[in-house]
């Protein structure tokens, strides 16, 4: 009755069991946890590892990327580094979709049979192997997404892996909650019926995992690992401008699977180009059972509407809102907002975009401060971030897509027409990469009459100060914008407990995760694995949460058999 023992997988499970238990505890308590060092300098054998990583990255450039997966029908590439403006020159195998699905389906039965513990052991080994590859991976993220070195290491590396572990924890818990067998006995009239029952976990099928251009790994790792742990195969569909981080991740996963005695075709990659997109084909493929999507609101909405009969988990985008009602001191608030609105040039799904301020100003430590003065404080804080080019570079990093520069320009012009420019945008000189595509954030000041400008995600370093009638209407406007356009994070500043309580209720109903009165060293939009739920599913910013039970529970089903016993 027990699944066939795969010795390697069983050993991996034992090897990682302590980590699994500690991560499980963290998910339950929501306290801080990570098995990984938070900064590159604390990476094991840091100096040598990081140097080897960079060399390994350089060796990938200008080469054909070896993935050794089925169905190869050509090659494509075309990524350009936001830091150098130069093509990476890497070609990836283009695969026939049917061949990938066939290979994935052929790989699944043995993986399903191996059982939850074996799969979880292998998945945690994939996490460790990805961590071992992080000194290479971080360069692949830098030179496709445009992230800073530090963010590529932490945000796209350790934190993304933590989100992956978290998904494995939830998957393991959901599977462990299902009894493998039972002896059931009941009287029917004068007879006693005694049945031996067996319950099998049956994976849903082939999962397709779409990854985005600016943060490829962060949503991909939890989605991939949730699907894999529950017995499914995964076809990764990377954004055409950010293939390399996922190609490397897919190669690592395939290597670990093969080493553990499983078919590496449990994880494959389907690349495409903007000219010949393959996304809709994958979503509508008759063998697609699960779709995980991170990307634009427009294609995300299409995916949500068209994924059926596949399950669909999305994170798209929204407007992240800030309410200023009253503060003890203005400067630390302005500094935190400015830093966060500069972080990775606001190319994060959690970056704040809209700051709502009562037109009559706000109370600052007992003093009424008008909107002009608040804007001046924000402008000063903006200048503070960019004053030192090295610091600016470490925070702003580079702009992933040329279209973002166009959007900054058109929003700047529209904002100037409909309101005023508080801080203008311009390129900044990156001290290490003179050819880097850069832009400092623009901050525009408008009123609710310009709602069509700000009630939509304006992806990139574009912010709005919106003057509302009063604090209550600020909250009302912000939460109603979240309901309409989606919203993942939200921020409120108030010295009045009753206002914060109102904000907590209003944002809970609107479905944005709220941070109150935070200043200081932590980026306002930092989302901690094991502790912060990411995306509520209550507004158009996505339907899936990292990580709750509903992210994993339907990725497998339960089949049972029963028979009489004496």
Residues that bind its own copies (CB under 8 A): 28-32, 173-174, 177-179, 182-186, 188-191, 193, 195, 197-200, 202, 204, 304-305, 308-309, 500, 504, 507-509, 511-522, 528, 531-533, 536-538, 543, 545, 548-550, 553-554, 557-564
CB of 54 to its own copies, least distance (A): 24
Q: In this complex, which beta carbon is closest to its own copies, that of residue 192 or of residue 449?
A: 192
CB of 255 to its own copies, least distance (A): 29
Chain center to CA of 96: 27
Q: How far apart are CA 437 and CA 434, in angstroms?
A: 9
Calculate ∠ Cα 450-451-452, nearest 5°: 95
CB of 509 to its own copies, least distance (A): 7
Task: Give me the sign of the Cα torsion angle 342, 315, 106, 126.
Answer: positive
Q: In this complex, which beta carbon is closest to its own copies, that of residue 86 or of residue 560?
A: 560
Residue with tokens 């599913």, as numbered in its chain: 537
| Strands (DSSP E) found in 333-425 | 354-358, 362-364, 367-369, 420-423
Q: In this complex, which beta carbon is closest to its own copies, that of residue 185 or of residue 329?
A: 185
Nearest alpha-carbon partner for 240 in 207, 208, 206, 276: 276
Q: In this complex, which beta carbon is closest to its own copies, that of residue 450 or of residue 546?
A: 546
Q: In this complex, which beta carbon is closest to its own copies, that of residue 366 or of residue 520?
A: 520
Task: Give the CA distances from residue 486 to residues 103, 315, 480, 496, 537, in Å, rounded to whole numbers and listed in that order.
Answer: 37, 10, 9, 27, 9
Q: In this complex, which beta carbon is closest to its own copies, that of residue 92 or of residue 170?
A: 170
CB of 388 to its own copies, least distance (A): 16
Nearest alpha-carbon partner for 181 in 201, 166, 158: 201
| Cβ pair 248, 137 in contact under 8 A | yes
Q: Which residues contact 422 (CB under 8 A, 6 or more apart)?
A: 375, 378, 379, 443, 444, 445, 465
Q: In this complex, which beta carbon is closest to its own copies, that of residue 324 or of residue 514?
A: 514
Q: In this complex, which beta carbon is closest to its own copies, that of residue 331 or of residue 532?
A: 532
Q: In this complex, which beta carbon is closest to its own copies, that of residue 147 or of residue 536?
A: 536
CB of 234 to its own copies, least distance (A): 19
CB of 524 to its own copies, least distance (A): 10
CB of 20 to its own copies, least distance (A): 16
**DSSP state letters, 147-165:** --HHHHHIIIIIHHHHHHH
Q: In this complex, which beta carbon is closest to its own copies, that of residue 46 or of residue 173?
A: 173
CB of 137 to its own copies, least distance (A): 23
Calculate ∠ Cα 256-260-261, nearest 5°: 120
Copy the structure tokens of residue 146: 């445009």
CB of 553 to its own copies, least distance (A): 4
SS3 annotation, 202-254: EECCEEEEECCCCCHHHHHHHHHHHHHHCCCEEEEECCCCCCHHHHHHHHHHH
Q: How far apart are CA 345 and CA 333, in angstroms?
A: 19
CB of 240 to its own copies, least distance (A): 27
Copy the structure tokens of residue 63: 């080469």
Q: How far apart are CA 168 and CA 121, in angstroms?
A: 10
Chain center to CA of 292: 11
Q: In this complex, which beta carbon is closest to its own copies, that of residue 173 or of residue 259?
A: 173
CB of 130 to its own copies, least distance (A): 22
Q: Which residues contact 190 (CB under 8 A, 6 or more apart)?
A: none
CB of 75 to its own copies, least distance (A): 36
Q: In this complex, which beta carbon is closest to its own copies, that of residue 86 or of residue 561?
A: 561
Task: Provide the β-strand partners of residue 34.
Answer: none
Task: Give the CA distances from residue 438 to residues 345, 389, 431, in Å, rounded to whole numbers and listed in that order.
Answer: 8, 12, 11
């Amino acid at each position: 009755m027990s699944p066939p023992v795969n010795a390697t997988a069983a050993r991996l499970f034992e090897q990682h069991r302590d980590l699994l238990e500690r991560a499980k505890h963290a998910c339950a308590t929501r306290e801080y946890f990570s098995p990984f060092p938070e900064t590159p300098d604390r990476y094991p054998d840091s100096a040598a590892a990081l140097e080897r990583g960079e060399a390994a990255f350089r060796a990938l450039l200008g080469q054909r990327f070896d993935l050794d997966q089925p169905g190869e029908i050509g090659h494509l590439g075309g990524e350009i580094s936001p830091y150098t403006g130069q093509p990476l020159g890497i070609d990836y195998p283009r695969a026939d979709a049917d061949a990938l699905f066939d290979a994935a389906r052929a790989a699944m039965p043995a993986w399903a049979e191996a059982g939850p513990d074996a799969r979880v052991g292998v998945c945690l080994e994939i996490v460790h192997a990805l961590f071992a590859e992080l000194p290479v991976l971080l360069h692949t993220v830098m030179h496709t997404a445009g992230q800073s070195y530090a963010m590529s290491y932490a945000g796209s590396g350790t934190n993304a892996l933590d989100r992956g572990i978290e998904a494995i924890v939830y998957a393991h818990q959901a599977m462990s909650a299902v009894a493998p067998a039972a002896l059931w006995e009941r009287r029917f009239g004068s007879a006693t019926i005694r049945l031996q029952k067996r319950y099998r976990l049956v994976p849903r099928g082939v999962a397709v995992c779409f990854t985005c251009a600016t943060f490829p790994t962060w949503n991909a790792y939890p989605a991939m690992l949730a699907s894999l742990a529950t017995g499914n195969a995964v076809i990764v569909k990377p954004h055409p401008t950010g293939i390399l981080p996922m190609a490397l991740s897919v190669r690592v996963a395939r290597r670990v699977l093969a080493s553990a005695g499983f078919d590496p075709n449990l994880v494959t990659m389907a690349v495409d180009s903007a000219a010949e997109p393959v996304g809709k084909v994958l979503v509508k493929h008759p063998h697609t059972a699960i779709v995980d999507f991170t990307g634009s609101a427009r294609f995300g909405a299409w995916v949500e509407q068209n994924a059926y009969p596949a399950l669909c988990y999305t994170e798209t985008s929204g407007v992240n809102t800030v309410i200023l009602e009253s503060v003890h001191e203005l400067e630390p608030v302005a500094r935190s907002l400015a830093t966060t609105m500069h972080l990775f040039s606001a190319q994060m799904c959690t970056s704040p975009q809209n700051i709502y301020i009562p037109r009559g100003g706000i109370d600052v430590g007992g003093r009424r401060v008008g909107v002009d003065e608040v804007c001046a404080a924000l402008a000063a804080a903006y200048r503070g971030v960019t004053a030192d080019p090295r610091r600016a570079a470490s925070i702003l990093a580079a702009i992933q897509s040329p279209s973002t520069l166009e959007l900054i320009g058109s929003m700047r012009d529209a904002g100037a027409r409909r309101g005023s420019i508080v801080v203008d945008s311009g390129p900044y000189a990156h001290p290490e990469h003179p050819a880097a595509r850069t832009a400092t954030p623009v901050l525009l000041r408008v009123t609710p009459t310009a709602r069509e400008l700000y009630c939509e995600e304006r992806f990139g370093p574009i912010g709005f100060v919106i003057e509302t009638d009063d604090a209550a209407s600020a909250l009302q406007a912000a939460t109603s914008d979240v309901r309409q356009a989606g919203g993942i994070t939200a921020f409120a500043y108030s010295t009045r407990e009753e206002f914060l309580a109102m904000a907590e209720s209003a944002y809970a109903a609107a479905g944005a995760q709220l941070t109150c009165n935070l200043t200081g060293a932590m980026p306002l939009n930092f989302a901690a694995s094991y502790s912060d739920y990411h995306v509520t599913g209550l507004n158009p910013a996505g339907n899936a949460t990292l990580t709750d039970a509903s992210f994993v529970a339907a990725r497998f089903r339960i089949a049972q058999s029963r028979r009489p016993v004496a």
